[in-house]
Amino acid sequence: MFEARLSQGAVLKKLIESIRDLVSEGNFDCSENGLSLQAMDSSHVALVAMLLRPDAFDPYRCDRSMPLGISLKSLSSILRCASNDDVITLRAEDPADQLSLVFENPQNDKVSEYVLNLMDIDSEHLGIPETVYDAVVHMSSSEFQRICRDLQQLSDSVSIDVSKEGVRFSAAGEVGSGSIALRQNTNVDSGDEATVIELQQQVNLTFSIKYLSMFAKTTPLCGRVTLCMSSDVPLLVEYKIDEVGYVRYYLAPKIEEE
Amino acid sequence: MGITGLTKAIADHAPAAIRSNEIKNYFGRKVAIDASMSIYQFLIAVRSDGQMLQSEDGETTSHLMGFFYRTIRMVEHGIKPVYVFDGKPPTLKSGELAKRLERREQAEKSMKEAQDAGDRESYDKFSRRTVKVTREHNAEVKRLLQLMGIPYVEAPCEAEAQCAALARAGKVYAAATEDMDTLTFGTPVLLRHLTFSEARKMPINEIHLDRVLAGLNMTMDQFIDLCILLGCDYCDSIRGIGPHRAMTLLREHGSLEAVLASLDKKKYTVPEGWPLEEVRHLFKSPEVQDPETIELKWQAPNEEGIIEFMVKEKGFGESRIRGGIEKLQKNMKTATQGRLDSFFKSTGIVSSTTSKRKANDKPAAKPKRGRGGGKPRR
């Protein structure tokens, strides 16, 4: 038996909305560590790993860990029936054929119940090695989204160059070229807008903008985003969900031919 | 060609070994393609009005057309093809080759008859069967590939065996051919339908050898024995033993010797002087060029060279050929997208099952989530 009550239903709504374009289905894993999902996109270029710890819920109950095969498109259409301030309760029997979702409004006078049929899914699970990255950029998530949107006009690839001066995003295509540089800015007053860089070594990597823009759909969940890079390893883009979880995206770099 | 009934046997007994994929899933993959079989395929398939394509002076150009456009299609999807050509056929294949020659002669005769009788349909059918790949075809295709900047390998012997060796050594991801005996030669992954025309909308079948063996519950040695029993290109099979019996017998007795010992000699005749050991040896250690000595390099196409060859010599339309070259150049220039699974290794398959949970099902292994990053601590 799995039961989890999420007082901020909006978190789940935004979460599913942000990953549904990248992956169409996946095995959600419910366990004593919380509700998690790891899934690759169909062309095996990007991976999303998300976790909502038990603290995110009140109460959280999971007797035995089990995977729930879920179509993200279907789940998202059901979640669209919930209002942003609703309390959402998820429930599944063991073994699970269905996931039941209950939405309660804050006034406590309306209850909606939905049932999602689960699917049989075989998904490949990847082991992600612990990595100390050469460059870590903490920045405003809406700024990141804006940069992806702007540079997408020019090219399908963006190169990200991190040095001690700051981070530069540049793209070149048939129309022309463009670049956006953000300087390190540790001014405490700037809050969510600050760009903070932790640098071991300068890096310059090229990525597909299409994927970065898909990751940037997570912006409503968190005002900050962290980009972690090392040469020749996948980029990690992380959005934290308050103190109770995260959404992490991994993206394989584009490789220049030797 | 290949192993009689192996595809069906795998589909029946090890369905998990076959996966259907779209061509776009293979971007960034290097693939070894059996060129000799592709030439043959193109000569048969690339036709207009049932006739092979010809240049003005009557030379066949179907194979060039096929190689040019199908290669471009793969390159456009980010695949890096390397072609492998047949060398001399192994002596054991002489029987099979003689049979093929005989069939071709038979078809030629039937073709003439059909032509005389004015039977268009059977004329087409038989004319396809008379197709023969010549030395000139091979040489022309090699010249084209060189101009296109696509690498090729000349196998000392069978091309399938060389493809398998390349795949086994990790030089390429898979061997692409319709010939099922590439599995018997030990390729870890076999791709079928990769070189088919886009119009046929055939999904690409990916067959994994380890899953085949697991599904059939056999060792590689037993699998080779099974293929011999099913019927390969290198020796006759035993009359009266079909796929089903071959499978049961081999499962029951474990090896081909034990199967032979148990057979009722009155009912089944084992061909005289059956070269069992030689065929096994051929599959296990075929004559191939050491993959480690092969360097695969994809280069920019030689535009003028291709125009000279394809347009001036072979009479293809210039604008279409230039369009093709442009696509090649574009894909050579852009950085290729890496694949995530070449960085992170698979730790297993997570399966969610509804209702019909199997009795012996272990609780699904909890995915171990590597804490891959976040803020590096220091």
Domain ranges of chain B: 16-216
Cβ–Cβ contact B357 with A under 8 A: yes
Shortest CA distance to A20 belongs to which of A100, A69, A76? Answer: A76
The structure tokens listed for B147 are: 């101009």
Position A205 confidence tier, pLDDT thresholds 50, 70, 90: very high
Question: Which CA distances in Å does A72 have to A49, A91, A215, A218, B55?
Answer: 14, 17, 16, 15, 54
Its sign, for the CA torsion B309, B311, B315, B320, is positive
Q: What is the pLDDT of residue B306?
A: 93
The distance from CA B205 to its chain's CA centroid, rounded to whole angstroms, is 11
Q: Report CB contact under 8 Å: A238, B353.
A: no
B16-216 falls under which CATH superfamily?
5'-nuclease (3.40.50.1010)
Cβ–Cβ contact B269 with A under 8 A: no
Peptide bond before A95: cis, by omega within 30 degrees of 0?
yes
Residue type, B230: L
Position B126 confidence tier, pLDDT thresholds 50, 70, 90: confident
Q: What is the pLDDT of residue B363?
A: 41
User: What is the rounded CA–CA span in Å between residue B362 and residue A40?
Assistant: 24
Rounded to a whole number of angstroms, the distance from the CA of B302 to the nearest CA of chain A is 18
The distance from CA A94 to its chain's CA centroid, rounded to whole angstroms, is 28
Cβ–Cβ contact A68 with B under 8 A: yes
User: What is the rounded CA–CA span in Å between residue B231 and residue B225?
Assistant: 10
Q: Which residue has the higher pLDDT, B224 or B115?
A: B224
Residue B5: pLDDT over 80: yes
Position B251 confidence tier, pLDDT thresholds 50, 70, 90: confident
Q: Which of residues 188-207 of A touch B (CB under 8 A)?
A: 198, 206
Q: Which residue has the higher pLDDT, A168 or B247?
A: A168
Using a CB-CB cut-off of 8 Å, the residues of chain A touching B336 are 254-255, 257
Q: What is the pLDDT of residue A75?
A: 96
Cβ–Cβ contact A251 with B under 8 A: yes
Q: Name which of A33-47, B183-197, B258-272, B350-364 the model is least confident about.
A: B350-364
Q: Report CB contact under 8 Å: A123, B350.
A: yes
Residue A28: pLDDT over 50: yes
Nearest to A31 among B334, B344, B366 (CB): B366
User: What is the rounded CA–CA span in Å between residue A138 and residue A167?
Assistant: 10
Cβ–Cβ contact B337 with A under 8 A: yes
Shortest CA distance to B350 belongs to which of A95, A66, A247, A50? Answer: A66
A84 burial class (0-12, 13-18, 19+ CB within 10 angstroms)?
A: exposed
Using a CB-CB cut-off of 8 Å, the residues of chain B touching A125 are 346-350, 367-368
User: What is the rounded CA–CA span in Å between residue B278 and residue B355?
Assistant: 51
Q: What is the pLDDT of residue B255?
A: 87
Position A84 confidence tier, pLDDT thresholds 50, 70, 90: very high
Q: Report CB contact under 8 Å: A67, B350.
A: yes
Report yes or no: A92 and A68 within 8 Å, Cβ to Cβ: yes
Residue A147: pLDDT over 90: yes
Rounded to a whole number of angstroms, the distance from the CA of B165 to the nearest CA of chain A is 25
Using a CB-CB cut-off of 8 Å, the residues of chain A touching B351 are 27, 67, 120-123
User: What is the rounded CA–CA span in Å between residue A56 and residue B107?
Assistant: 74
Q: What is the pLDDT of residue B368?
A: 39
DSSP H or E segment with residue B134: none
Domains of chain A and any CATH numbers? 2-117 (3.70.10.10), 135-251 (3.70.10.10)
β B30-34/B174-176 pair status: parallel
Position B201 confidence tier, pLDDT thresholds 50, 70, 90: confident
> Tens digit of pLDDT for each residue in B231-245?
888 888 888 888 888
> Tens digit of pLDDT for each residue in A113-138?
999 999 988 888 899 998 999 999 99
Cβ–Cβ contact B371 with A under 8 A: yes
Nearest to A133 among B348, B352, B373 (CB): B373
Nearest to A49 among B338, B369, B378 (CB): B369
> Tens digit of pLDDT for each residue in B141-179?
999 999 999 999 999 999 999 999 999 998 999 999 988
ipTM of the complex: 0.80
Residue B365: pLDDT over 60: no
Does residue A258 sit in helix, strand or coil?
Answer: coil
Residue A134's closest chain B neighbor by CA? B376
Residue B302: pLDDT over 70: yes
Q: What is the pLDDT of residue B355?
A: 63
Using a CB-CB cut-off of 8 Å, the residues of chain B touching A255 are 335-338
Report yes or no: A236 and A250 within 8 Å, Cβ to Cβ: yes
Q: Report CB contact under 8 Å: B369, A38.
A: yes
Peptide bond before A67: cis, by omega within 30 degrees of 0?
no
Question: Which CA distances in Å does B140 have to A236, B61, B122, B158, B309?
Answer: 48, 9, 30, 20, 9
Position B199 confidence tier, pLDDT thresholds 50, 70, 90: confident
Query: Where are the strands (E) in chain B, listed by range?
Result: 18-21, 30-34, 47-48, 51-52, 80-85, 152-154, 174-176, 189-192, 204-208, 336-337, 345-352
Shortest CA distance to A143 belongs to which of A202, A222, A204? Answer: A222
Q: What is the pLDDT of residue B1?
A: 59
Rounded to a whole number of angstroms, the distance from the CA of B206 to the nearest CA of chain A is 15
Q: Report CB contact under 8 Å: B366, A45.
A: no
Cβ–Cβ contact B118 with A under 8 A: no
Q: What is the pLDDT of residue B359?
A: 36
Indicate the DSSP class of residue B311: I
Shortest CA distance to B42 belongs to which of B28, B53, B26, B30? Answer: B53
Whole-model pTM: value is 0.73
User: What is the rounded CA–CA span in Å between residue A157 and residue B136?
Assistant: 43
Residue A11: pLDDT over 90: yes
Using a CB-CB cut-off of 8 Å, the residues of chain B touching A127 are 344-347, 368, 370
Q: What is the pLDDT of residue B361?
A: 39
Its sign, for the CA torsion B114, B118, B122, B127, is positive
Using a CB-CB cut-off of 8 Å, the residues of chain B touching A252 are 337-340, 342-343
> Tens digit of pLDDT for each residue in B92-107?
888 888 888 888 888 8
> Tens digit of pLDDT for each residue in B340-356?
888 888 887 788 877 64
DSSP string, B60-111: B-HHHHHHHHHHHHHHHTT-EEEEEE--SPPGGGHHHHHHHHHHHHHHHHHH
Q: pLDDT exceeding 90 applies to what percent of chain B?
A: 27
The structure tokens listed for B286 are: 């075929």
Q: Which residue has the higher pLDDT, B236 or A212?
A: A212
